[in-house]
Structure 1
């Protein structure tokens, strides 16, 4: 797969080097996988779009289009994300290391340049990140492998579920198609705050979608936990009361690896296939992801439930 040259047997003989006229071209996924492996091996080197395109044996233009189609962002944006994710890991693993040394180690010219890039990517300065963030939800935001390599299994459970009213609280933000990939940042901030006074004694956490616009697809997303209705909240938290409702429950079984990309694929299947085929009528009210906390979501077999309010 990714790595060095492959040996391909054809009717014309053995091709020891990719790109020969008598060899079939490698599949597009192999091309992107090879460039991702090269990117990771030279993460803080002087990489350019042309360097990466050479690994895929494509023109820079063709490679950029193909990479974006596979990964959901441009090659250089993905490279910046991988670099900053590695820097974030070092921030947490090396708490005594100065930002100056960290910035230089990660290929930035100065701590100021590093801080600006870090804040643009993660919405918070490096020092603040070091004091109050969890890295795990961000790991799948810029995966090292192709998202097609892990696909979730999605099923509509046969029974509807009725829940009483409850209250969730956590970090919330407005999203649209341009920034939905930043949702893991909310989870990173939330996990660093848990547990807190007023949180209900449960492992459950919730990703609640509300205020959905039919015109442009924008929405408000809250990453939170169940709380007492009048509990004092940590600074920056938002409270959301969810009325009693009857829900269709979809079980999403993850395949390991990038969480955000798998959830995105699961949502496309739920809203595009399973829900229309069910004949259920969606009711007013928030829908939400529910995590039971029993297994890390980046492990194969981890389960998320997605609940959609439906009419009786």
Structure 2
């Protein structure tokens, strides 16, 4: 049995690496808590508050990410072997969990589908204490009208943690019929209800036509507009806490300080076709429509 690690200012950095190295082992909440030097009850609450998910959900998620990589690199690997390695009792249970996380069946990954764009849902590293880097680009940007297609839902503070499910559904359905040549993706926000604290959100890609779309997908028209653009530079830690922090800075500090007047039109995050959320230096551009 490994000795408990010494108490450090941030125990999560070495702990997450320790878990990653032992994904093949029989990991339990009690064992991981013992490694961290806390009771299972205390550690469980601390971990969930820090990571936004339970200890064992993190372990299962990391095992599924690893299995997705193996499907890309080992085309002959058997699904039942991956299922057992991930701690599932059957191939069917593994396939269901895999599709819920990635929005695509294991078979799609065998064809070379990359897990990198959505690994941000289960990163191996913990949220960073380093402030998110956000900067306003110096020039306003004019964009002509375009169309985005994908799944959308209304969210509020209680449900917005489910937004990654839309991204899984989108990525699992790509490419769409009529999709523009660019592989850029968009997180579009509109119909904001300030009193209810709710908003519509779509995870989408650009499309040329209103062609046949998967069930539950729709087309959103983005009108021509002038935008102020904010660039979010990621630090390699968990994606969603960084985006949340960046939005607080943009709406709470940068937009009021800009003197610009925001207009009633969709705003959106844009991710380029090579976006890798777990890589330090990856960027997200956030477009906010303003009066020219």
TM-score, structure 2 normalization:
0.81
User: Any idea what SS the aligned residue of 1:147 has?
Assistant: coil
The residue matched to 2:128 in structure 1 has which SS? helix
Give the equivalent residue in structure 1 for 2:211. Answer: 232
Distance in 2, matches of 1:118 and 1:218, equals 29
Query: Which residue of the partner structure matches residue 26 of structure 1?
Result: 8
- CA deviations 1:75-123 (Å, max 9, x no partner) are 2222222222223333443444333222122222222332343345445
Distance 1:177 1:143, change over 3 A: farther
| Counterpart position of 1:59 | 39
Q: Does 1:291 align with 2:271?
A: yes
- Equivalent of residue 98 in structure 2, options 108, 111, 118: 118
Residues 82/215 of structure 1: CA separation in 2 closer, same or farther (3 Å cut): farther
Q: 1:244 — aligned with what?
A: 224
Aligned-residue CA RMSD (Å): 3.2
- Secondary structure in 2 matching 1:252: strand
Name the structure, 1 or 2, with higher relative contact order (CA <8 Å, separation 6+).
2
Matched, 1:78 2:58: yes
What is the aligned partner in structure 2 of residue 265 from structure 1?
245
Q: C-alpha distance in 2, partners of 1:57/1:294? A: 39
Counterpart residue number, 1:69: 49
* Counterparts of 2:34 and 2:201, CA distance in 1: 39
Count of residue pairs the alignment pairs up: 290
Counterpart for residue 138 of structure 2 = 158
Q: Deviations over 1:36-88 (max 9, x none)?
A: 22321222433222211112212223222322232222222222222222233
What are the ranges of 5 or more consecutive residues in structure 1 without an aligned counterpart? Answer: 7-17, 19-24
Contact 2:152 2:166 in 1 (8 A): yes
Q: Distance between the aligned counterparts of 1:201 and 1:116, measured in 2?
A: 31
TM-score, structure 1 normalization: 0.77
* 1:295–1:44 Cα change, 3 Å: closer
TM-aligned CA deviation for residue 275 of structure 1 = 2.0
Partner of residue 136, structure 1: 116
Distance in 1 of aligned mates of 2:66 and 2:111: 17
Structure 2 gap segments, 5+ residues each: none
**Alignment deviations for residues 267-304 of structure 1 (CA, whole Å, 9 cap, x no partner):** 22212322233343332121101234366454333332
What residue is the counterpart of 1:104 in the other structure? Answer: 84
Instruction: Specify whether residues 110 and 193 from structure 1 end up closer, same or farther in structure 2 by C-alpha distance, changes over 3 A only.
Output: closer
CA contact (8 A) 1:249 1:305 kept: yes
Q: Is the deviation greater in 168-177 or in 235-244?
A: 168-177
**Contact persistence 1:141–1:181 (CA under 8 A):** no
Q: Which residue of 2 aligns with 1:47?
A: 27
